[in-house]
């Protein structure tokens, strides 16, 4: 590949923010809903309304299959992982409770927690190592009699560091409190099984590695937890319309208002794509791209790379810096001169940057995806070499 100053060439390395391109089936499913269905699900009872309800149920079912969930009604749809995390955190924690989290969290976890702190919730932020790893022993040491919840990202959106979720889940289960996992970076990219990993609450984005459109996400809620989990919003659900109080059953308790049916049609197609390709195959492709990139960066001068050195311990999000070039300058040059799209800065995770020593300038983040190619990695390495050399 050669640089194309006419900007016809585009290399999308921002999959950690949102995936692109999407599988062909995603737009097809959304178009089908729009042209052939169009009704409001669970409301009117006519054939188009029933068809819309069926689409949403099918999306729930494929997600349940992907995450090893026995009953697909345990999934509540949200507009993104942020909303799912807010439902989980604001719904579970009360004044006097203690919550444990890590120093690698996204602001979608930290901001609700810092708000809850002002309401009397105590927070322990367990420090991770310089490459972002959370030690289960340190989590264990932070447990108190008032501990109600551990909330942890499955993988950092800054360094890609994968946390030992199953081990953490079993510590939490043994101590009888709840485990919430932020799977924004991993749903569709790494295997997730809620029972094997002892996960009580799983928040996920639909628009990243699940290949759905923006405006989709969800929260898995283990059976029984809904009895103690306040909804964030209340309103019409199409069920129990004779009552003025919010239904107390799944998923209606957390799904007030007309849903994003067209988006959920697209999400269903995205998840079907993941199931057809296989999470293992997707992981293997992304790990291969990451390994190639890490090896290439190691051979360049003036580059600092963050996170675990081996691709097996991380997702396909790689943070690095080029000596003498700020992340925002580098990202601008990569876009304008080379057509490479990435994300510079703090990636909504200031604590993670403090942990790896890159606060406040942040890093350049490349987020590889299933549709990226080896030749794009080689081209990007050459572009980075040239920026580092001041060419």
Among 23, 217, 268, 345, binds ligand PLP (CB under 6 A): 217
Q: Does 157 bind ligand PLP (CB under 6 A)?
A: yes
Task: Verify binding: residue 209, ligand PLP, rule CB under 6 A.
Answer: no
Task: Point out which residues pair with 366 in neighbouring strands.
Answer: 318
Q: Which two tokens stand for residue 44?
A: 């009117």
The per-residue DSSP string of 302-334 comes to TEEE-S-SSGGGB-SEEEEEETTB-HHHHHHHH
Select from 184, 199, 250, 351 the one that contacts ligand PLP (CB under 6 A).
Answer: 184
**Tokens at 382, concatenated:** 């050459």
Choices 19-27, 75-83, 113-121, 357-365 (CB under 6 A): range interacting with ligand PLP: 75-83
Contacting residue, 49, 108, 260, 358, with ligand PLP by CB under 6 A: 108
Task: For ligand PLP, give the closer residue by CB, 82 or 358.
Answer: 82
Burial per residue of 218-249, b for 16 or more beta-carbon CB atoms within 10 angstroms, e otherwise: bbbbbeebbeebebbeeeebbeeeeeeebbee
Smallest gap from Cβ 271 to ligand PLP, in A, equals 15
Q: Which of 60, 106, 285, 314 binds ligand PLP (CB under 6 A)?
A: 106
CB-count exposure of residue 299 (10 Å: 0-12, 13-18, 19+): exposed
Half-sphere exposure of 296 (CA within 13 A, CB side): 20
| Residue 102 binds ligand PLP (CB under 6 A) | no
Question: According to CB under 6 A, which one of 49, 59, 82, 103 is a site residue for ligand PLP?
Answer: 82
User: How many residues contact ligand PLP, by CB under 6 A?
Assistant: 13
184 in Cβ contact with 216 (< 8 Å): no
Task: Give the one residue of 205, 319, 321, 355 binding ligand PLP; rule: CB under 6 A.
Answer: 205
Of the candidates 132, 130, 92, the one whose C-alpha atom is nearest the C-alpha of residue 112 is 92
- Which DSSP state fits 22? P
Candidates 80, 261, 355, 358; binder of ligand PLP (CB under 6 A) is 80
- For residue 116, the tally of other CB atoms under 10 A from its CB is 20
Q: 11-12 and 340-341: which strand pairing?
A: parallel
Q: Is 347 helix (H, G, I), strand (E, B) or coil?
A: coil
Residue 122 in tokens: 């105590």
The nearest distance, CB 209 to ligand PLP, in angstroms, is: 11
Q: Which is nearer to ligand PLP, 81 or 387 (CB)?
A: 81
User: Of the candidates 59, 72, 103, 153, which one interacts with ligand PLP according to CB under 6 A?
Assistant: 153
CA gap 7, 27 in Å, rounded: 25
Residue 224 Ramachandran class (φ > 0 left, ψ -120 to 50 alpha, else beta) = left
Give the binding range for ligand PLP (CB under 6 A) out of 179-187, 193-201, 307-315, 354-362.
179-187
Minimum CB separation of residue 205 from ligand PLP in Å reads 3
Contact string 240-259 vs ligand PLP (x = CB under 6 A): --------------------
Say whether residue 185 binds ligand PLP (CB under 6 A): yes
Min. distance of Cβ 246 from ligand PLP in angstroms?
Answer: 24
Q: Indicate the residue among 60 and 207 with the shorter CB distance to ligand PLP.
A: 207
The nearer residue to ligand PLP, 347 or 385, going by C-beta atoms, is: 347
CA-based nearest residue to 196, from 238, 173, 166, 155: 166
Can residue 103 be called a binding residue for ligand PLP (CB under 6 A)? no
Binding site for ligand PLP (CB under 6 A): 17, 80-82, 106, 108, 153, 157, 182, 184-185, 205, 217
């Amino acid at each position: 590949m050669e640089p194309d100053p006419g900007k016809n060439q585009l290399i999308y390395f921002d999959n950690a923010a949102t995936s692109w391109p999407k599988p062909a089936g995603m737009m097809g499913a959304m178009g089908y809903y729009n042209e052939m269905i169009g009704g409001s699900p669970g409301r009117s009872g006519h054939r188009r309304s029933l068809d819309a309800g069926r689409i949403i149920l099918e999306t729930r079912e494929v997600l349940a299959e992907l995450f090893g969930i026995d009953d697909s009604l345990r999934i509540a749809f949200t507009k993104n992982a942020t909303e799912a995390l807010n439902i989980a955190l604001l719904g579970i924690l009360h004044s006097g409770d203690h919550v444990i989290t890590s120093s690698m969290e996204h602001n979608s976890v930290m901001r609700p927690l810092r708000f809850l702190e002002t309401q009397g919730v105590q927070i322990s932020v367990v420090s991770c190592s310089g490459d972002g790893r959370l030690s289960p022993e340190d989590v264990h040491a932070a447990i108190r009699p008032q501990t109600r919840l551990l909330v942890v990202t499955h993988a950092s959106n800054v360094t890609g560091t994968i946390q030992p979720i199953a081990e953490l889940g079993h510590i939490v289960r043994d101590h009888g409190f709840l485990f919430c996992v932020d799977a924004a970076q991993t749903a569709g990219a790494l295997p997730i099984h809620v029972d094997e990993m002892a996960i009580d609450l799983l928040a996920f984005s639909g628009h990243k590695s699940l290949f759905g459109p923006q405006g989709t996400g969800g929260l898995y809620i283990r059976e029984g937890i809904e009895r103690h989990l306040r909804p964030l919003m209340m309103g019409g659900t199409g069920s129990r319309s004779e009552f003025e109080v919010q239904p107390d059953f799944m998923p209606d308790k957390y799904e007030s208002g007309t849903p994003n049916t067209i988006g959920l049609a697209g999400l269903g197609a995205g998840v079907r794509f993941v199931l057809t390709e296989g999470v293992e195959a997707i992981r293997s492709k992304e790990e291969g791209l990451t390994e190639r990139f890490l090896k290439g960066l190691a051979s360049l001068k003036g580059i600092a790379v963050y996170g675990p050195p081996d691709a097996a311990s991380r997702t396909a999000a790689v943070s690095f810096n080029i000596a003498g070039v700020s992340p925002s300058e580098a990202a601008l040059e990569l876009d304008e001169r080379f057509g490479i799209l990435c994300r510079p800065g703090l990636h909504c995770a200031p604590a993670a940057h403090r942990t790896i020593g890159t606060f406040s300038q942040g890093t350049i983040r490349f987020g590889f995806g299933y549709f990226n190619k080896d030749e794009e990695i080689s081209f990007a390495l050459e572009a980075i070499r040239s920026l580092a050399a001041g060419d």
